[in-house]
Chains A and B, each alone.
Chain A
Amino acid sequence: MELSRRHFFKVSGAMALAGVASKDKSAVASSGEDTPKKSDDEFGCLVDTTLCVGCRKCEEACNQRHALPEPAESFEEMTVLENERRMDETSYTVVNKYYPKNIGTLTWRERPTFVKLQCMHCNDPSCVSACIVGALTKEENGAVIYDVKKCIGCRYCMVACPFQVPAYEYDNALTPHVRKCTFCFEYIKDGGLPACAQVCPREVMIFGKKDELLELARWKQKNNPGKYVDHIYGEKEVGGTSWLYLAAEPFETIGFPKLGEKAPPRLTESIQHSLFQYFAAPIGLYAALGGIMWLTGFLKGSQETEKDHSENEKGTTT
């Protein structure tokens, strides 16, 4: 019994150490990120939906820059705006048209509002937190980008995204990609512009440093009293996003989901990290179970059964 107790601790201790050694690096590294880092270099775009006229040039420019498949209807076909659309594996951005809604006798707007949609490039992206292999990353310059080499195609990022942005090539049997707006990462890295912002005739999306854009958004609201609703969408939603929106209408009426201010990864990561902080919980559980096992006399029993067992076996096999 003395011997077996030592034996027990020896083996289980070695296991536990191995576990800690292999995993605590990632656990420590990630536990340091409880509040997402804020970089001065973070770019964003401020979309002033009151300016958009729904010309779909951004869709076209995006399609061309990313060599996406040509759509069935040409980009000059404006009737497609009559249906609410979503980004998919062939389009990283779409423009939607929202007609006025009546509430009682109030009409909220006279003209349709056009809303350009694309990945919001969250400050604390759910997809990045969710991705099993880290194929999605939030870059220093604000872009949330995707590395297909790591991806296993589990689509958890799509489940996670509060804006329902990532799309998936369901019809690609062998090498499906997750598709979403890249914020033209490789272009803005070199001082270029996102294709949509570059082509937009009305500069609906203003490209710039995020903090300056927020300032500009507030400036616009202040200088155009009554024009905008008092809300900068993306300033606080799910922990803030790199793309910000101004609108003349309540955002819920022009297709934006109503979201809280807390980034969903804060909850899941805090659960995960507290569970795996220095592997305390698994090791503790392991130790507790071992203790119970020992207390209930399993070890003793097993020694006896081992003897019985070998005797039995001799008996049966011979």
Chain B
Amino acid sequence: MNTHKKAAPVEEKFLTPGVMVMLGLMVIGGAFIAARFLYGIGKVSNLSNQYPWGIWVAIDVASGVALAAGGFTTGAIAYVFNRDQYHAVIRPALLTAMLGYTFVVLGLLIDIGRYWNITSPLFNHNGNSVLFEVAMCVMIYLHVLYIEFIPIVVERFKGRVNLPSLLSGLNNLVETLLGIADRILGKIMFVFIIAGIVLSCLHQSSLGSLMLIAPYKVHPLWYTPILPLLFLLSAFAAGYPMVTFESIIVSKSFGREPEMEVLSPLAKYMPILMGLYMAVKIGDMLVRGSYVYLLDGTYQSNAFLVEVGVGVILPFVLLLFRRVRHSPGWLFFAATIFVLGILMNRINVFVVSYTPPYKIVSYFPALGEIFITVGLIATLMFIYRVVVFIFPVLGAHPKKMSPTIVAVLAMAAVLALQWAPSTAHAESATKSPLPLEQDLVPSIAHAPKLAMLNAPVVNKYSDIYEPVRFMHSKHAGVLKDCSICHHRMPRSEGDTYGEPVSMAQMRTREIVPVACSACHADPFNPKNLDTPGLKGAYHQLCMDCHKESEQVPFTRGPIQYSAMVRGPIARTLDTRAPTDCLACHAKKVPNHNQLVKIEGHVDARAVTQNCLSCHQKEGEAILKTAHWNWHGPSPYTVGHEKRIDLGKKSATINNFCINLNANWPRCTSCHIGYGWEDENFDFTNMANIDCLVCHDTTGKYKKTPADAGLPDKNLDLIAIAQQVGRPSRNTCGMNCHFRGGGGDAVKHGDMSAMLSSPSKNHDVHMGVDDGGHNFRCQDCHKTRNHMISGRSISVPAVEGDLSCEYCHTDKPHLESELIDHHLNKHTRHIACQTCHIPVYSKGNPTKVYWDWSTAGQDLKMPKDKYGKPQFMKKKGTFIWKEAVKPTYRWYNGTVERYILGDRINENGITDLTRPVGSLDDPSSRIYPFKVHGGRQISDVIHKHLIAPQLWGGFWKHWDWDKAARDGMAAAGLEYSGGYEFVETRMYWGLTHEVLPKEQALSCAACHASLAQEPHCARCHQEREGVDFKALVHKGVDFAAMAASGYDVAELAGKSDFIDFEALGYAGDPVETSGRFDKLGLGLARKTAD
């Protein structure tokens, strides 16, 4: 098989500038390859879940295979069709094919993630996989190529084996082996030649089949069931142009004459094969009608046009001309553009045409991909050069040489195609409120008040949350139709499909509602898949309804006039029905016994560090809270709405212990942190957070009273940490809020230690006995990211709104009785608390007056009737009161607040906090307040209140002047040197300790007009069975309360509970008309003027 012009090793200078460039590219490529193997494909490529295949597959593998087609096509023409004259190009083509396929495999090793498992297909066959067939064929063909190359090796070394000294003993053996190989191979080489052609046909076509599995991702210009045929035909057509391209480059690079005597005849076949490919390709396009995409201007259609126009049609036409075929330059040009056309075709099929259904980022090869590909090609060319220098591959034509690289670089440059950027989809939301049908009014008074939705079947499938505390009667009252939830009932025992029920049937008690669990149990029961499981049923029903009422806030009327909104149209109550998980559920806290991993006696900060090891995010959240910073946004403080720095940290002042400045260690024993002893406390250090003060469940955790928030040193903190849980009324209340002002019930009129386990009659929400709802604090004070909702008049910081209406709506009364209609009309003018908290501090006396001016003296005063001290040397004189009638004021939710440094009211009492609102302000409602009066130190010249240093100051030296000087220095305010004591006043909201509805104020308690005959009959007709007198007096019975020990005897039997005239009314609104409307009696409103 060596009848062509004698081939011989090239004998030239090996290292040329071109080779140096190649080596450079190899080094760069090698570096990226190293990075790929060290850090993964993701680091060097832009391959993604959308584009799993990139140029490594398209160029290194698919194009590599296609452009190595010269091997089998020249083999076919030279051996199968026995055209001897082409033997001259066989050896270079064979070498190209061999190296090409070797690099296909190397490219694959880089591209596949588990390269070390590349032998897996040998053991794990998937006969259905196109890729499996390709892999097998390529593997076998690679070996065939190596075998075909053996004769060249034999020719080079046979009879000349001369191994280095150590191995020289093997010379004879190697020589013998070469001889055997030569003899045997000579006889059976035709087997391999034909096998090579068959294998090539198979995998060249199958490479096209690869993309057939993805019909929805490949652009229709390329996707065709005959893609394998096109790949095969294009491989046929690519063979000779590739051989020509290569041969001319090699000739040029070694300064030889192009082998036109071989190439020109070979070129005769090119237009035939190209024409065939072109005809099938264009014919297929016409048959499938995909030409409609040709001119749509996308980068795909442009790529297709270039590929076919420049890469197929142009070379085909050129090669039809004899002149082209016989001119080295023109032939090279035509061959090159066809080769590039094939390259582009493969890139198009595998990359450009690939349109993932969900495209987030477009694919363009990363530098790493490009350099690895270029590096591989450079290596291939380098090895080619090495081989032709060693083995007799090229014909013997010694002359000088020139660099080859430029052409290759040009090839790479062509790769830079156009890539369209991905388009972002912008969608807009539209909402339109839907009116709900308003169906009417059965008696739902029988509905159970509260249900714990705690079925085991729910917990079995998910125990992330604690059971829901379902306010059953509240829902019944709002929905007014039991059949919305109790929608069907079983027809017989065990029936889970049931029949529909109607409210009418329930009203007549024909049907008694059945529990949800009667039908809904385990989910996905194959016997009745159409019945949701209990968990699904709850959530579907509850959440659908909640979503509906959340999205349609106007259905039942917005609380436009709520005192909790600013201005009459500011906004509606935004959480009509919550739809998020935490609004109904509480998250379960896992057992921390095993989770807390510290030992020995540890200090408090070490415990916090341990908490933070898992709860870093929570720690970060704490740093933003008002509980941590003691300041926060103050949207409801008039004049300071946009500020975020107001709080007791420095800015506010009260008439209890006055101000934090210079008093840190004592005051900050209520801070949720450790070590706030002076103004230098580090608010960014999470290790200072006191997790346990809120999350303790043992009740043992206590802070030392004056140690800047640090706990008692003798506590077993680890044991406490191992039992952490959700905050409770014990942690929120007993540790802090019940004891505001330094002792039980001192500050708040509506909170005291009694709330830790009150009776229902003390607080209907928190009551623990029968009928009480046993709420935790956070059942109302919803908490997110440690931000706790709720508002207080006394402090400006707010982390979330809260009002009774969030649960009870603005029509809280059931309307099952006529009187409810009147009561619901009150909600525009009167806060819930006004009627439902008729007296405050029911259980424990609270301070209502504090005179600091007597502090420091040695007075002797007896304890008062509640057993409370009326004087303490440190603090001065106090007045305590129990079961007090609140003070009523108009309140629209905003507060006027005294900020440290403000000028005092020189003509009377200075209000430290004052609710804003008036009769004429529609967003104002009448609210109940505790008023705390004070007499506190003020600057006689500057006329502003003084923040004295009490802790470690006045309480040591009893010198007001020094205390004022030190305190004001710490507060950064001026002190003139003269002080006086001035009257101040604080309003404190009353929201807790709500009485059961039976003990709300009666109509007669406020409306004197209704207390007299004929009561309601002034407007309403007498009706049998309705006792108007009883009706108007229905409510809290102060006489009975007094009998059971409350100090409320003087309130009994009165009809002037609210002083309407003081609130701006002309008199009892029933008689003198309401503030905006005429009332039923038709009396005109008497205005003051």
Cβ–Cβ < 8 Å partners of B216 in chain A: 162, 257, 259, 264
**Does B770 have its Cβ within 8 Å of any Cβ on chain A?**
no
Are B431 and A110 in contact, with the CB atoms below 8 A?
yes
Which of chain A's residues have a CB closer than 8 A to the CB of B49?
A: 86-89, 158, 164, 166-168
Q: A131-B129, A134-B124 are in contact. Are A153 and B117 (CB under 8 A)?
A: yes
- Listed stretches B15-23, B184-192, B406-414, B832-840; interface member: B184-192
In the bound complex, do residue A163 and residue B357 qualify as a contact, i.e. CB atoms below 8 Å apart?
Answer: yes
Provide the residues of chain A in CB contact with B533, threshold 8 Å. Answer: 203
Q: Does A212 contact B (CB under 8 A)?
A: yes
Most buried by B among A213, A255, A286: A286
> With a CB–CB cut-off of 8 A, which chain B residues contact A133?
120-121, 124-126, 129, 132
* A-facing residues in B196-240 (Cβ within 8 Å): 197-198, 201-202, 206, 209-217, 225, 228
- Considering the chains assembled together, what is the distance between the CA atoms of A285 and B76 in angstroms? 12
Q: A187 on the interface (CB 8 Å rule)? A: no
CA distance A298 to B937 in the complex (A): 121
Cβ of B809 to closest chain A Cβ, rounded Å:
22
Residue pair A170, B41 in contact (C-beta under 8 Å): yes
Is B82 a contact of A298 with CB atoms below 8 Å? yes
Among A255, A292, A293, the most chain B Cβ lie within 10 Å of the Cβ of A293
Interface centre among B118, B429, B551, by most chain A C-beta atoms within 10 angstroms, is: B429
Q: Which residue of A lies closest to B546 (CB)?
A: A53
Cβ contact within 8 Å between A126 and B530: no
The 8 A CB mask of A209-229 against B (1 = contact, 0 = none) is: 100110010011000000000
Q: Kindly state whether residue A69 has any CB partner on chain B within 8 Å.
A: no
Query: Separation in Å of the A190 CB from the closest CB of chain B?
Result: 15
What residues of B have a CB within 8 angstroms of the CB of A130 in the complex? Answer: 129-131, 213
- Hey, what's the 0/1 contact readout for A109-143 against B, CB within 8 Å counting as 1? 01110000000000000101111111100000000
Is there contact, CB below 8 Å, between B212 and A264? yes
* Docked complex Cα distance between A95 and B214 (Å): 25
- Taken together as a complex, chains A and B put the C-alpha atoms of A27 and B132 apart, in Å, by 12
Does B1 belong to the interface (CB within 8 Å)? yes
Point out the residues of chain A lying under 8 angstroms from B1, CB to CB. 302, 305, 309
Q: A153-B115, A193-B524, A298-B82 are in contact. Are A159 and B217 (CB under 8 A)?
A: yes
Name which residue of chain B comes closest to A102, CB basis: B430
Residues of B within 8 A of A272 (CB): 127-128, 130, 133, 206, 209
In the assembled complex, A2 has its CB within 8 A of some CB on chain B: no
With both beta carbons as reference points, the residue of chain B lying nearest to A287 in the complex is identified as B194
Instruction: For B356, give the chain A residue with the smallest CB separation.
Output: A164
* Of B79, B132, B188, B429, the contact of A99 (CB 8 Å cutoff): B429
Q: With a CB–CB cut-off of 8 A, which chain A residues contact B41?
A: 170-171, 176
Q: Is there contact, CB below 8 Å, between A8 and B190?
A: yes
Q: Are A154 and B131 in contact (CB under 8 A)?
A: yes
When the two chains form their complex, are residues A271 and B209 in contact, meaning their CB atoms are under 8 A apart?
A: yes
Q: A11-B191, A15-B195, A111-B551 are in contact. Are A159 and B53 (CB under 8 A)?
A: yes
Segment at the interface with A among B536-544, B894-902, B999-1007:
B536-544
A202 contact from B45, B425, B540, B617, Cβ within 8 A: B540
* Partner of A271 from B43, B84, B212 at Cβ < 8 Å: B212
Interface residues in chain A, defined as those with a beta carbon under 8 Å from any beta carbon in chain B: 7-8, 11-12, 15, 23, 26-27, 29-30, 33, 51, 53, 55, 57, 61, 74, 84, 86-89, 98-102, 107, 110-112, 126, 128-135, 150-156, 158-160, 162-164, 166-176, 193, 197-203, 206-209, 212-213, 216, 219-220, 255, 257, 259-260, 264-265, 267-269, 271-273, 275-276, 282, 285-286, 289-290, 292-293, 296-299, 301-302, 305-306, 308-309, 312-313, 317
A-B contact pairs, 8 of them (CB 8 A): A12-B194, A61-B462, A84-B360, A126-B214, A130-B130, A130-B213, A132-B131, A302-B1
**Lowest 8 A-B CB distances belong to which pairs?**
A153-B113, A203-B536, A170-B42, A26-B127, A158-B52, A155-B52, A176-B113, A296-B82
Extra A-B contacts (8), CB below 8 Å, given A152-B120, A293-B79: A53-B543, A86-B49, A151-B120, A168-B113, A170-B40, A219-B530, A255-B358, A271-B130
B residues whose Cβ falls under 8 Å from a Cβ of A: 1-3, 36-43, 45, 47-50, 52-53, 76, 79-82, 84, 108, 111-118, 120-121, 124-133, 135, 155, 158-160, 186-191, 193-195, 197-198, 201-202, 206, 209-217, 225, 228, 354, 356-358, 360, 425, 427-432, 434, 461-462, 464, 523-524, 526, 529-530, 532-533, 535-536, 538-540, 543, 547, 551, 579, 581, 617
